[in-house]
Amino acid sequence: MKDLMLKVRNLKVIFPNQMGVLKAVEGIDFDIPKGKCVAIVGESGCGKSVTSLAVMKLLNSPPAMVRVDELVLDGADLKDYTDQMMQEVRGKQISMIFQDAMTALNPVMTIGKQIDEVFIRHGKMDKGEARIATIKALELVGVPEPKSRANQFPHQLSGGMRQRVLIAMAFACMPKLIIADEPTTALDVTIQAQVLDVLSDMQKKHEVSLLLITHDLSVVANMADTIYVMYSGKIVEKAKVRELFLHPHHPYTIGLLGSIPKLSDEVHKFVQIPDAVPHPMFKPTGCYFHPRCSHSTLKCSQVMPPLKTLLNGREIRCFHPQNVVDFEEVAHE
Amino acid sequence: MSKPIILSMKNVSVHFPVKGALPFSKKRVVSAVSDVSVDIFQGETFGIVGESGCGKSTLANAMIGLVRPTSGEVLFKGNKLYSLSPQEFKEIRRDMQMIFQDPFSSLNPRFNVYQIISEPMKIRGGASVDEMKKRVIELLELVGLSEKDLYRYPSDFSGGQRQRIGIARAIILNPDFLVCDEPVSALDVSVHAQILNLLMELQEKLKMTYVFISHNLAVVKSICDHMVVMYLGNVMESGSTKAIYQHPLHPYTNALLSAVLDVDLDNKKERILLQGDIPSPINPPRGCRFYQRCPYAMKGCVDKKPALIEIEPEHFVACHYINPFAQEEINAGLAKPLNL
Ligand SMILES: Nc1ncnc2c1ncn2[C@@H]1O[C@H](COP(=O)(O)OP(=O)(O)OP(=O)(O)O)[C@@H](O)[C@H]1O
Ligand SMILES: Nc1ncnc2c1ncn2[C@@H]1O[C@H](COP(=O)(O)OP(=O)(O)OP(=O)(O)O)[C@@H](O)[C@H]1O
Ligand SMILES: [Mg+2]
Ligand SMILES: [Mg+2]
């Protein structure tokens, strides 16, 4: 498919240890169309970061063991790329924005220098040109007084400013794909709103594809085109943002959406999902969500439901999907 | 008839010294909490909201005797908390407990559940092992765990379960005042509702007063009766939750509310994006502490601190712009917003 920036098929990541095998990612498929923002949403430990690291081929092996059938970036299958080739890809075609800017930035180098380097390496600029580009890039992401800020070290900036610097850096090499792993989780609400705004603006302006990884459905509501919901290493539902929020099919998605308190709520009790996410070493048989699910039947406890594709392109892994509309019959299994 | 006041703070300020870069450099202080007065009613839930570093935890710590205010007074059930003898303080402190944000670091990993939960009772003394055990089992059931968990260790539990253990420990001595400092923010999203519901159930059953610290305005709306909105150690807006959410008046409160990312797709509200960062609480602005980021800041906001005034019953706001007198001045062309 020409209009896909990233196509991932059957990605599996396991971590063998003394007690057995921890299955972090259990064969997931996802697509990122060109110029779109796709989100992977799920709770802590469901395999989001491992997925993004696997796409970048940044997982160390051992301990990780990664298998993938297809990992196609803009038509090129990266599956058999060597480390050296990947380094080229990572700098030029994919860049990443991490949750913790402090570890992503070099603490002993000014932020200006760090962004300059990207321009020098990838934009083939000289030092002077690079600095001009850096200042412009900082300005674009809303860093005030970019000229003097460029001479500051990461620790001299606030969390929100550091995250902006990471965004500026991620866009500096004009990548095809940006992966943002919880880019605003560590930030305060008003700062989070600013940073998401910048990220969304930049993504649209530069028409890059964005893979947004987060545990926060309210963040993706305002950013993403398509959402994949992950639970315990598997994709359980995929839908366009609007469809997912208006007609969530999977009981887990329904539970998550219901448990987010809304400002418009007048209730004094929160809708709760019982129990907790299964331990990754001891996942239940059948559907991983069945012990917490109010719709589960005997079958759910015995057989893992397959991921079905509905006629409108939505995907759902559940024997008892909810809110399904008539026309959404199963396209194929 | 309003409920009796259980805790009251009068003009409390807490300053922390900052080590200067040079030994002779000007002494600097962090003004973590500055001139805050609140009354908390018995049996209610009192919310403290605001962004990181605005002084929420410091304020709560001052309430329960963990941080001595630099100035001002804290009265708990009519007793001046910081004028009590150590013995009196120790006794009264049993009525005030706290639940921490991080259930991973707040439980001693080498103690089992029984040891963790019974510790406050053991320290108080006067109970036999059998009594303690009975009480711990009772509490485990109350917080949704069971007797089977008695001899397990924190590492065997999920975050939500650990928070339940923390709650059991906090309420073992029947406190009537419980500070919940961001009790769910370290937990998986799908267990937030469980823990919040549990806290509300316990409050109902045990008639406790809660101080609930959160940065989630939607949660505060659902569970708090009264609240304060803080910014850089100052109270910007306070009063009944109902009044504040019905007409949020302070520009900061409005910005906070509009920054709540709603999952309600059709409820597209006008977003107010604040400019700039939260300034440092070291040598904060003289006037309104919010003026640098305020879209309505006027000249007067720079040097004159707005007083907290009652705008409607049970609704206080500290803002020159909202103040009806300032409005008159604006209308008369005597004052005008700076950044508009
Ligand atoms: N280097 C590693 N060695 C062993 N196990 C790992 C390693 N990295 C991740 N895991 C495990 O893989 C699973 C998925 O982890 P991952 O970091 O992808 O979760 P996540 O969805 O990003 O969660 P969070 O929201 O907390 O960041 C977890 O159970 C984790 O413990
Ligand atoms: N023991 C201390 N010594 C020096 N400064 C302190 C101390 N405790 C808190 N502060 C400072 O006081 C200010 C208020 O801190 P506080 O922890 O009360 O904020 P908070 O609103 O609880 O923030 P958060 O949401 O991050 O928990 C901060 O600037 C903080 O750095
Ligand atoms: Mg992660
Ligand atoms: Mg705090």
Whether ipTM tops 0.85, in short, is: no
**Could you give the CA distance from residue A278 to residue A291 in angstroms, rounded to a whole number?**
9
Lowest mean pLDDT among A245-259, B56-70, B116-130, B252-266: B252-266
pLDDT, tens only, A208-250: 999 999 988 888 887 899 999 999 999 999 999 999 999 999 9
Chain-chain contact of A270 with B197 (C-beta, under 8 angstroms): yes
**Could you give the CA distance from residue B166 to residue B56 in angstroms, rounded to a whole number?**
20
The verdict on residue B269 lying in a domain is yes
Q: To the nearest whole angstrom, how far is the Cα of B336 from the nearest Cα of chain A?
A: 25
- The chain-wide mean pLDDT, for chain A, equals 89
The CATH number of residue B53's host domain is 3.40.50.300
B278: chain A residues, CB-CB within 8 Å: 158, 188, 191
Structure confidence at residue B340 (pLDDT): 37
Closest CA to A195 of A170, A230, A175: A170
The verdict on residue B143 lying in a domain is no
The verdict on residue B155 lying in a domain is no
**Residue B298 — pLDDT band, cuts 50, 70, 90?**
confident
Range of A101-115, B169-183, B276-290 with top mean pLDDT: B169-183
> Do the Cβ atoms of B247 and B314 come closer than 8 Å?
no
The verdict on residue B222 lying in a domain is yes
pLDDT, tens only, A17-43: 888 899 999 999 999 999 999 999 998
- Classify burial at A288, counting beta carbons within 10 Å of its beta carbon; exposed 0-12, middle 13-18, buried 19 or more: buried
Share of chain A above pLDDT 70, in %: 97
What average pLDDT does this structure show over A132-155? 88
**Could you give the CA distance from residue B228 to residue B222 in angstroms, rounded to a whole number?**
15
Q: For the packed helices A127-140 and A111-122, what is the interaxial angle rounded to 10 degrees? A: 120
**Residue B235 — pLDDT band, cuts 50, 70, 90?**
very high
Q: To the nearest whole angstrom, how far is the Cα of A44 from the nearest Cα of chain B?
A: 6
**Could you give the CA distance from residue B281 to residue B176 in angstroms, rounded to a whole number?**
33
The number of beta carbons lying within 10 Å of the beta carbon of residue A329 is 11
The verdict on residue B77 lying in a domain is yes
Q: Which amino acid is at B249?
A: L
What average pLDDT does this structure show over A77-92? 90
Domain that holds residue B259: 5-95+173-331
B191: chain A residues, CB-CB within 8 Å: 272-273, 276
pLDDT, tens only, B245-280: 988 889 999 888 887 766 666 655 666 777 777 777
Report the separation in Å between the CA atom of B53 and the middle of ligand 4, taken as the mean of its atom positions: 7
The verdict on residue B100 lying in a domain is no
Share of chain B above pLDDT 70, in %: 89
**Could you give the CA distance from residue B30 to residue B19 in angstroms, rounded to a whole number?**
10
Structural domain count, chain B: 1
The finding on whether B53 has its CB within 6 A of some atom of ligand 2 is yes
The finding on whether A215 has its CB within 6 A of some atom of ligand 1 is yes
Structure confidence at residue A289 (pLDDT): 96
The verdict on residue B162 lying in a domain is no
Residue with tokens 């030092």: A127
Please indicate if any CB of chain A lies within 8 Å of the CB of B242: no
Lowest mean pLDDT among A95-104, A158-167, B255-264: B255-264
Closest CA to A174 of A225, A140, A150, A224: A140
Structure confidence at residue A298 (pLDDT): 96
